[in-house]
Amino acid sequence: MSAARPEREPRLAELAAVLRDAASVTVSTGAGMSAESGVPTFRDTQDGLWAKYRPEDLATPEAFAADPAMVWDWYEWRRTRLAGLNPHAGHRALAQLQDCLAAVTLITQNVDGFHQLAGSAQVLELHGNIRRNRCAAGHRSPWQAGVAERPPACPQCGGLLRPDVVWFGESLDSRTLEAACEAAAQCSVFVSIGTSTVVEPAASLGRVAAAAGATLAEVNPQTTPLSALSEYCFREPAGKVLPELLRRVQARGSA
Ligand code: BV8
């Protein structure tokens, strides 16, 4: 790729054309996708009570085993804050892109459920969903605010509840991961949005797509390990780029 890339406008229009002609598109989002909704990214420093903790140190089975109440409280803090936030125009644009393009698979590392709230139907949640709980037996139940127990007991079996997310050191759901790897290996265009491309195995999906010959695009104000493999890089926020990309896809479609 040339260092001095052409202006952004033609590149957006060009990517819109490539997306419209693509047999299949895979989109993979990370915490930056929800930043404009007010959800701090994983690499943002935490504030308040949790400022002295690193998420990577709290989102582990060891932390939960050592102090279930403290880890539960951290999730209650995140879930309560999330309850007052909403998907932004970028989430909605992605949901509409899924409607107007051939075959779009949406993969997310995020646990906030914002893609579904914005209208995306099929979402591969690699790291689970913070709006659900589960117990060691795998019984799942929706999160309810204001429950006194820290953590509460599973309504089905009485076991200890934990958030239905994948912690560091835990394996991802095998079927979800298999579907995500397949979508990366078989797509003709792979779009990476709002991820530092550090956490595995999600971080490898873009490389799998590139190795299989897909065209890569990246939406992230910062560069990432995937930037060098990306034909299209937009160093701007998702909430700005995605609605503009959608407009160009829709305009070209009606031409
Ligand atoms: C696994 C759920 C097999 C929880 C998350 C040692 C022991 C065990 C494992 C490992 C080990 N060393 C390495 C590993 C593997 C480990 C890993 O990758 N660690 C990292 C730290 C190196 N992975 C795992 O453990 C995974 N499991 O490998 O299983 C196994 C099993 C046992 C033993 C060995 C192997 C499980 C990983 C899942 C962890 N759970 N979340 C919760 O949320 O509480 S991950 C967490 O990080 C979030 O889901 C988050 O989404 C994800 C990744 O981060 P990003 O999404 O990329 O977010 P980040 O903040 O980093 O970046 C944001 C980006 O957005 C930035 O680039 C920024 O520039 C950009 N941005 C900002 N604003 C915007 C924007 N972009 C666009 N628009 C904007 N407005």
Ligand 1 center–CA 6 separation, angstroms: 32
Query: Ligand 1 pocket, 56 CB below 6 A?
Result: yes
Q: How many residues does the chain have?
A: 255
Whether 91 is catalytic? no
Query: Ligand 1 pocket, 36 CB below 6 A?
Result: yes
In ligand 1, which atom is closest to the CA atom of 224?
67
Catalytic residue among 88, 91, 115, 127: 127
Ligand 1 center–CA 200 separation, angstroms: 7
SS (H, E, C) the chain: CCCCCCCHHHHHHHHHHHHHHCCCEEEEECHHHHHHHCCCCCCCCCCHHHCCCCHHHHCCHHHHHHCHHHHHHHHHHHHHHHHCCCCCHHHHHHHHHHHHCCCEEEEECCCCCHHHHCCCCCEEECCEEEEEEECCCCCEEECCCCCCCCCCECCCCCCECEEEECCCCCCCCHHHHHHHHHHHHHCCEEEEECCCCCCCCHHHHHHHHHHCCCEEEEECCCCCCCHHHCCEEECCCHHHHHHHHHHHHHHHHHC
Question: If you take atom 69 of ligand 1, which residue's CA is the nearest one?
Answer: 222
pLDDT of residue 51: 77
Ligand 1 center–CA 204 separation, angstroms: 12
Taking the C-alpha atoms of residue 251 and residue 19, their distance in angstroms, rounded to an integer, is 13
- 46 pLDDT above the threshold of 70: yes
More confident residue, 8 or 78: 78
pLDDT of residue 40: 85
Confidence band for 4, pLDDT divided at 50, 70 and 90: very low
Question: If you take atom 21 of ligand 1, which residue's CA is the nearest one?
Answer: 199
- 45 pLDDT above the threshold of 60: yes
pLDDT of residue 7: 58
Question: If you take atom 75 of ligand 1, which residue's CA is the nearest one?
Answer: 32
Phi, psi of 58 (to 5 degrees): -95, -35
More confident residue, 10 or 26: 26
Phi, psi of 180 (to 5 degrees): -70, -40
pLDDT digits (tens, 9 = 90+) for 187-200: 999 999 999 999 99
Question: If you take atom 80 of ligand 1, which residue's CA is the nearest one?
Answer: 237
Ligand 1 center–CA 56 separation, angstroms: 8
pLDDT of residue 239: 98
Ligand 1 center–CA 129 separation, angstroms: 14
Query: Ligand 1 pocket, 222 CB below 6 A?
Result: yes
Give the percent of the chain with pLDDT over 70: 95
Query: Ligand 1 pocket, 237 CB below 6 A?
Result: yes
Confidence band for 42, pLDDT divided at 50, 70 and 90: confident
pTM: 0.94
